[in-house]
Amino acid sequence: MSTFKKAAGKAVKKIVEYTPEPIKDELKETVKDKAKEKFIENVQDKADHAADKLEDAKNEGADKLHDKAEEGKEKAQETLLKVKDKIGNAVEAGKDFQEKISSNQNEKDDKKIKGVSQIKGVSRIKSYKDVKSSNDIKTMGS
* Other CB atoms within 10 A of residue 27 CB: 13
Tens of pLDDT, residue by residue over 67-94, are 999 999 999 999 999 999 999 999 999 9
Statement: the pTM of the whole predicted model exceeds 0.75 = no
The span from the CA of 139 to the CA of 142, in Å, is 6
Alpha-carbon dihedral angle through residues 65, 66, 70, 72, given to the nearest 10 degrees? 20
pLDDT of residue 51: 95
Alpha-carbon dihedral angle through residues 27, 33, 31, 48, given to the nearest 10 degrees? -160
